[in-house]
Structure 1
Amino acid sequence: MARSDQPLRIVHAVRAPVGGIIRHILDLANGQADRGHAIALVADSLTGGTRAAAALAEIAPRMTLGVHRLPIPRQPSPSDALLWLRFAQLIRRLKPDVLHGHGAKAGVFLRSVPAKPAAIRVYTPHGGSLHYPPNTPQGAVYSRLERALMNRTDLFLFESAFARDTYQRVIGTPNGLVRCVFNGVAAGEFDPIGVDPDATDLCYVGEFRKIKGADLLVEAVARLRSGGRPVTLTLGGDGEESAALHAQIAALHLDEVIRRPGHVKARDGFAKGRLLVVPSRGDSMPYVVIEAAAAGVPMLAADVGGIPEIFGPHREALFAPSDPAAMAAAIATALDDPAAAAARAAVLRQRIFQMFSQNAMVDGVLAGYREAFAARDKSQVG
């Protein structure tokens, strides 16, 4: 019998305790707990601040195997050897049936530490090491680690076909199972969102990281304004690029037209603008796009990563990535015809309802676990 039909002991580990990746893990862990499984969460203690602490404290009562914070630096470090030992001690104590690593760093630890023979090892890259080109020092290290661990992995769970195909092109084709399970949102996130009375023309919601492209959106706003369109923007977020972004806004003399409320919850951020713009340089399956689409928010996004898989046949809302001029042109078109943007948002909302639900995501992941257990049992019998 596939053991995931019985209550499982599952460990989810991730480095970053903020952003879409932790949102995915919290939703997945909650859904698995609802289905009677015992869950542990492991996340970095060095980042996230009070926001991460609050999110993890909220879910902690449901995590019967505990919430554990370990210092997990983003880059490879000599301290990783000690950290590996701490992971090994934790896994030995928790005795999980499923070791599910999310992102490059946690994926390395959970696929390399000792575990009981019957356990399966699951990996969801979430972009992870694929964000580092193999011809860079960091990319070379991660690529070697990925290849070394590829066939120690019972199940690869990708959140998009783009992520799966990129992994197989850059790293290789694994011997283990490979499955795609879309990220999903809960029923309450399909409730419509009203726009604030003082909303700006545009809004951005997310982390301030190079890969997320907020600086490209600022450049697009500057282009539009220099061309005679007095557009305004709300940048909802924070992160490692905050100082550079604020300096860019000041240099372009946009302080009076770009609001910066700091970190905002996604739905609150969507209400602060009449058109959401997702300017990513690279993304696999960003939650902000799925959340906005579920709520019927008019939106433009970069044609990158797994974003086209969310939009499906509605690719006219996508613009060329890393191109502020193309972004500015797409924004101008959308602002000139808000009825068309609203109509597209209504159709996209129905697509999300059908294909990107939280229940479907949780069920899909557990189905992957079942397949991995069945394949393990078959190989042991053979």
Structure 2
Amino acid sequence: MDNRQIAQVFAEIGDLLEVAGDNAFKIRAYRTAADTIAACADPVARMDDGDLRALPGIGKELAATVRELADTGACRFHQELLQEFPPTILDLLRLQGVGPKTVAMLYSALNIRTVDELADAARGGRLRELRGMGPRKEALILKAIEERQKDAGRHLLADTTAAAAELVSYLRAQAPAVDFIPVGSLRRGCDTCGDIDVLAVGGAPALMDAFLAFPKVDRVLGHGDTKSSVRLRGGYQADLRLVPPESRGAAVQYFTGSKAHNIVLRDRAMQRGLKLNEYGLFRTSGEQRVAGDTEEGIYAALGLGWIEPELRENRGEIQAAESRRLPRLVTAADLLGDLHMHTTATDGRDDLEAMATAALRLR
């Protein structure tokens, strides 16, 4: 787990403790720890007990919680708190302008447990019956719900990358010989992503049981021998599909998308007497296999240069690949520095000499 994920667990513990009406000092301790971990420049998961306790606001108990999260990916105390309330309570806490004290009041006074129940109560004018509530607060809550629903099911690329990396890391620990490949909008680098789709190349059906046992699973949506789906904490749906090695390239290409890109690619295959699906590229007559073990082989068999996933949106990339005019994308190796940096002279974490030395290493 990275610092952001560990800090999120600490922040959720603080929020849940406040909803439960726990000790104010304990609540503040977890929130202070969350801020400290989020701001820490070094990965806290790699620190030993002494290094952790040297951080501001991290004592023996909280250091042990960090180690528990780093070692197991979960925290027993966090899980126990989640069991005291409906799991949808955290959805209420994520609404703009709805804090733990408000959630505690809504839950205790009106038994509001879900965003839908909160919306119904606000539209019905029942919230204004509560202390500190009124028509203006009701309107603000309805606006927050409306904004949340606009983005329902979508998550920022950075958040999805972190969630997928944690899931893939767990799966690799269960099956080191299997090649796990995140696909879909995440692989295309879209600004926001929907589901987390992961292919398990060479995986056995028993892998599905390990997938369902992932500590972040909230609910099992489907369980099969070759595909399973779960709902993860944080609102993600994650799908795992088993893929035979000979179909690796075809499956990666198909499930990476986009849908519009794949439609054009399949039409191109049909025009050449071929059939393209997630299992491979085949001749329409006789079902002879033409390609499928690599993405590059599929594009080459269709007379195209390989197209970077980030370009697969049906915005002219097929034509550019045919004429070998695809642009070269910027990579991390192209980055030589940062145009906007802060030193310890203001609110940065490194002094000028350290930053200048690091910049020289990037030349």
TM-score, normalised to structure 2, is 0.28
User: Computing the radius of gyration over CA atoms, which structure comes out larger, 1 or 2?
Assistant: 2
TM-score, normalised to structure 1, is 0.27
